[in-house]
Amino acid sequence: MSSLPLIDPDNALFLDFDGTLADLAPRPELVQVEAGLVGTLRALHRQLGGAVAIVSGRTIAELDAFLAPLQLPTAGVHGAELRDAEGRRLEVPAPDLDRLHRRLEDFARGHPGLRLERKPMALAVHYRAAPELETLVREQVAQALGDVSGLEMLHGKMVVEVKPAGVTKGSAVELIMRSPPFAGRLPIFAGDDVTDEDGFAMVAHLGGVGVLVGQRASAATVSVPAPADLRAWLHRSARALDGGEAAETHAPPAAHAGETRSDPDTAAAPAAATAATAGPSGSGSNPSASTTSS
């Protein structure tokens, strides 16, 4: 299994937010952004010539609020909203969600553990507070959706969403990669959820690297245990890229194959370009951490 090399000046970076850049929280609005993360993202954005994008199920407005004052190229709502490197907004035609929203409102009202979220281009039923309702939620959303054309269901972590059909994190990556400063670069996509698999598949198709945060079967080629490890890798890469620029030498691309240190508690320290199979703390549950596409 490959280890996770430091980010190269020729890479383009695509980053999921929840569970990847930020630790998950009991409720989506309670998620916190680590001090220092915005600074590192800003540095990487500069170092990679602007080729750093956020790709998330959240809306662009929410993501901007979390990362303020930074505004990166962003695909929101799984790609249904898009802001390119020039700051232009491209959106798929807004689907008519009103009827579906009313039906799901009735359902959610009957179950206090559920939270129905209306996004500009999608609906989400969160069941993190009532995980035992997963099957019921899936059934009810499928039933409410019926055979409405142009919409499809998406199952994420503790959430079932309805969004425009055919729009995925993979299609978002493909679209963003068509234009400067992304075009021609080798993409890296980091994500944690099953909804990120489309992104992993797309970067694999483009010859790039998928980085799974967590452990499960995946199309990603490399994994790190937790968001703290992913952040440590970003911090470390940004420092290395700056060092390379300052010395006016080409930063050595990724000659770090042997590095296996992983310490989730040292997110801001030079640690943890964690290889897929590096289970340094022997915490036990790392047998098939790395999943490779072939």
Q: Does 62 bind Mg ion (CB under 5 A)?
A: no
Least Å from the CB of residue 256 to Mg ion: 25
- Per CB under 5 A, the list member of 18, 62, 64, 229 interacting with Mg ion is 18
N-term to C-term CA, the chain: 10
Least Å from the CB of residue 148 to Mg ion: 26
Give catalytic status of residue 16 as yes or no.
yes
Active-site entry in 16, 192, 196, 198: 16
Burial of 99 (0-12, 13-18, 19+ CB in 10 A): exposed
- Long-range interactions of 114-118: CB distance < 8 A, separation 24+: 115/27, 117/28
Nearer to Mg ion, 182 or 189 (CB): 189
Burial of 263 (0-12, 13-18, 19+ CB in 10 A): middle
Q: For the segment 109-128, give every residue that binds Mg ion (CB under 5 A).
A: none
Q: Does 192 bind Mg ion (CB under 5 A)?
A: yes
DSSP 165: T
Strands (E), the chain: 11-15, 52-55, 74-76, 81-83, 89-91, 115-118, 123-126, 151-156, 159-164, 186-191, 209-213, 222-224
Candidate segments 132-140, 162-170, 188-196, 228-236, binder of Mg ion by CB under 5 A: 188-196
Q: Both tokens of residue 133?
A: 């309702």
Q: Does 16 bind Mg ion (CB under 5 A)?
A: yes
Least Å from the CB of residue 192 to Mg ion: 4
C-alpha R_g of the chain: 19
- Per CB under 5 A, the list member of 13, 14, 19, 189 interacting with Mg ion is 19
Q: Does 161 bind Mg ion (CB under 5 A)?
A: no
Least Å from the CB of residue 215 to Mg ion: 14
Q: Residues interacting with Mg ion, by CB under 5 A?
A: 16, 18-19, 192-193
Residues annotated as catalytic (active site), given as ranges:
16
